[in-house]
Amino acid sequence: MRRVFLFVLIPVAVACAMPEASVTAQTQVAAQTPVAAAPAPQSVPAGKVILPNKAGSIKFAVIGDTGTGDKHQLAVAKQLAATRSQFPFEFVIMVGDNIYGGNSSKDFENKFSTPYKPLLDGGIKFYAALGNHDDPSERFYKPFNMNGERYYSFKPADGVRFYALDSTYMDDKQLKWFEDQLKMSGSEWKIAFFHHPPYSSGETHGSDETLRTQLEPLFVKYGINVVLTGHEHFYERIKPQKGIAYFITGSSAKLREGNIKPADFEAAGFDTGYTFMVVEIIGDDMYYQAMTDSGKTVDSGSVHRVGKVEPTPNRTAQPIVPTTGNGKKLPPAGDRK
Amino acid sequence: MKVIRSIGALALLCATAVAPALAQQAAPKPPKPQISETTKQKAAEENANPDALVLADFQKRVDAYLAIHKEAAKDAPALKETNDPAQIKHAQESLGAKIRAARANAKQGDIMTPEIRNKFRRLMYPVVQGPSAQGTSGSAKAVKADVKDELKENSEERKEEGGKPVVLKVNATYPPDTPLPSTPPQVLMNLPKLPEQLEYRIVGKNLIIRDIDANIIVDFVPNAIQ
């Protein structure tokens, strides 16, 4: 009789003692059920760029969470330079955490000018956004092309405008600046880049929902097409949210292995190696390819936008054709080696 | 008899286990207003809201600091775009040194007086702890949860990625190798605006006012989040 009671009592007592844990466990089970079969990853020879590489197109690279100065940053930087020999990108977007731990001359040398020397020598411009590990005084470092501002915009070529935001301090002043800039914008591609991701499957950080609350209405209203972020130390492509394509490239020097947890909004993810992206814009199409430090392609595809986008009040989504891609959606964490 | 005893034990076990969890979930009470007699008297004389006088006093103290900052900046090397990081660091340190010299006797509470600290705790309470949070969109509950998550994440990131601990001391340098915790937008919306030279950052449960270019802690509110 006592044994029977113990059988009944122990599970009940455990459930009483951990009300939250039992709910979480149910949620995790539901979330780990794959929504669809993972597409087969494309087989691309190492180091090969499969973007159209068309003359006159807008070509750039994206790196994030770079400033360690360690062998991983150097390996990614080396592959980035090698990639440029076949895909001549003209500038590099840095999505924050550009210089970790200190801001001495040695730090800038070891964590920026030495790793990217071949690119800098080749006249490649870098455009940085501030991350939470960056001293805001980095905005005065000329090679970061921030014009002394924590947030800024630039137009590297006709047809595209970039907006660098400081997501560590999204105050009214910055939001007003951003909205004013967007109001003045034309029909070009509008790409925002900053550090904290509004959507992320990361177990460590996850989506920055407060930031999303602030920014997403502006993205939608004024026609931001693409958002590039970092902070999470992995690569991830998010399914278009309200017509906006989101990418995370936060593993260009740091890596959190196995940190992507299953999420419905994840389109592709890679959390077992160091990555960067190369991107090409041709007319209303943006082609992307995410590669590792050994040149392996982990995701690629394109985003198509529907021509001219004017600011529209009460818009709920952008007229963008959903991102196509052939990267691998990660299996549930428990099934990964 | 044994059955009754077992049920009793179960009830006791459940009560013991759930009580701390419930206590943890219950929101702390909002801070009670603490207005000094001087402010109360002035408010009565001017037929003014005492809270408005507290915020006006804060503004006055910030302006006084700003005057010191601007004066120091006149004599310090200009922070301007350069290829040489040493010049940036030198300009930053020079500005910090001049500000420290100009307010050598500055102490905690010079700007954040007890009644201003209390007012700030009351302003922050709704978005970080209170039962009804204020946000730009989304449910109040969701916004409050987001802010809490963000603050928790900041704290975890600091532990995970190291860096020196932030010493809460007026005129102290914010450690350059320590991550700058992002300040939730909802918190910024609820606090008085600062001039562009200054910013709010939440370090643990404390709110600091940081001089951005001098990288120094101007003043702070300990236990801004209770």
| Other Cβ atoms within 10 Å of A308 Cβ, number | 11
Q: What is the pLDDT of residues B56-110, one digit of tens each?
A: 999 999 999 999 999 999 999 999 999 999 999 999 999 999 999 999 999 999 9
B145: left (phi over 0), alpha (psi -120 to 50) or beta: alpha
The Cα B135–Cα B147 span in angstroms is 10
Whether the Cβ atoms of residue B89 and residue A103 lie closer than 8 Å to each other: yes
Question: Which residues does chain B have within 8 Å of residue A167's beta carbon, measured at their own beta carbons?
Answer: 182
Q: How far is B131 from chain A (nearest CA, A)?
A: 18
The pLDDT score that the predictor gives to residue A9 is: 38
The string of DSSP codes covering B123-137 is: HHHHHHTSSS---SS
Select the residue from B90, B139, B177 to test the A interface by mutation, using most A Cβ atoms within 10 A: B177
The Cα A333–Cα A329 span in angstroms is 11
This model's pTM is above 0.90: no
Instruction: Say if A16 is an interface residue toward chain B (CB within 8 Å).
Output: yes
The Cα B174–Cα B165 span in angstroms is 9
Question: Which residues does chain A have within 8 Å of residue B81's beta carbon, measured at their own beta carbons?
Answer: 140-142, 147-148
For residue B85, give the nearest of A100, A108, A206 by CB distance. A108
Q: What is the pLDDT of residues B3-37, one digit of tens each?
A: 556 555 555 554 445 444 444 455 678 889 999 99
| Other Cβ atoms within 10 Å of B192 Cβ, number | 14
Question: Which residues does chain B have within 8 Å of residue A214's beta carbon, measured at their own beta carbons?
Answer: 136, 185
The pLDDT score that the predictor gives to residue A28 is: 23
- Token pair in block for residue A112: 């920026």
Spell out, as residue ranges, where chain A has pLDDT lower than 50.
1-41, 332-334, 336-337
Residues 292-331 of A with CB under 8 A from B: none
- Token pair in block for residue A56: 């006159």
Instruction: Say if A121 is an interface residue toward chain B (CB within 8 Å).
Output: no
Question: Which residues does chain B have within 8 Å of residue A217's beta carbon, measured at their own beta carbons?
Answer: 137
Q: For the residues B34-50, what does the mean pLDDT come to?
A: 93
Question: Which residues does chain B have within 8 Å of residue A111's beta carbon, measured at their own beta carbons?
Answer: none
Q: Which residue of A has its CA nearest to B85?
A: A105
Which residue shows structure tokens 């702390």? B28
Question: Which residues does chain B have within 8 Å of residue A129's beta carbon, measured at their own beta carbons?
Answer: none
Contact A147 B81 (CB under 8 A): yes
Strand pairing partners for B10?
A: none
Whether the Cβ atoms of residue A277 and residue A289 lie closer than 8 Å to each other: yes
For residue A102, give the nearest of B83, B137, B176 by CB distance. B176
Contact A18 B153 (CB under 8 A): no
Q: For the residues B197-205, what does the mean pLDDT come to?
A: 91
The pLDDT score that the predictor gives to residue B24 is: 46
The pLDDT score that the predictor gives to residue B183 is: 86
Contact A13 B17 (CB under 8 A): yes
The pLDDT score that the predictor gives to residue B62 is: 98
The Cα B103–Cα A110 span in angstroms is 36
Instruction: Say if A104 is an interface residue toward chain B (CB within 8 Å).
Output: yes
Dihedral pair phi/psi, residue B151, rounded to 5°:
-65, -40
The ipTM value here is 0.79
According to DSSP H, which parts of chain A are helical? 2-17, 19-31, 71-84, 105-108, 117-121, 172-184, 209-222
Whether the Cβ atoms of residue B35 and residue A39 lie closer than 8 Å to each other: no
Instruction: Say if A264 is an interface residue toward chain B (CB within 8 Å).
Output: no
Contact B177 A102 (CB under 8 A): yes
The pLDDT score that the predictor gives to residue B21 is: 47
Select the residue from A3, A112, A137 to test the B interface by mutation, using most B Cβ atoms within 10 A: A137
The pLDDT score that the predictor gives to residue B218 is: 98
- What is the CA angle B151-B156-B161, rounded to 5? 130
Question: Which residues does chain A have within 8 Å of residue B175's beta carbon, measured at their own beta carbons?
Answer: none
Residues 6+ apart with CB under 8 A from A142: B81, B82, B83
Residues 131-190 of A with CB under 8 A from B: 132-138, 140-143, 147-148, 167-173
The Cα A257–Cα A270 span in angstroms is 9
Q: How far is B146 from chain A (nearest CA, A)?
A: 6
Contact B137 A213 (CB under 8 A): yes
Domains of chain A with CATH codes = 59-335 (3.60.21.10)
- How far is CA A6 from each of CA A15, A19, B32, B188, rounded to the nearest angstrom? 14, 20, 49, 53
Whether the Cβ atoms of residue A279 and residue A286 lie closer than 8 Å to each other: yes
Question: Which residues does chain A have within 8 Å of residue B157's beta carbon, measured at their own beta carbons?
Answer: 132, 205
Question: Which residues does chain A have within 8 Å of residue B189's beta carbon, measured at their own beta carbons?
Answer: 172
The Cα A193–Cα A164 span in angstroms is 5
Give all strands of the β-sheet with A125-128 in edge-to-edge order. A125-128, A91-94, A58-63, A275-282, A285-292, A297-305, A320-325
Contact A208 B150 (CB under 8 A): yes
Contact A169 B157 (CB under 8 A): no
Whether the Cβ atoms of residue A286 and residue A280 lie closer than 8 Å to each other: yes
Instruction: Say if A214 is an interface residue toward chain B (CB within 8 Å).
Output: yes
Query: Across the A/B interface, how many CB contacts are shorter than 8 Å?
Result: 138
Whether the Cβ atoms of residue B182 and residue A194 lie closer than 8 Å to each other: no
Asked whether residue B148 carries a pLDDT value surpassing 80, the answer given is no
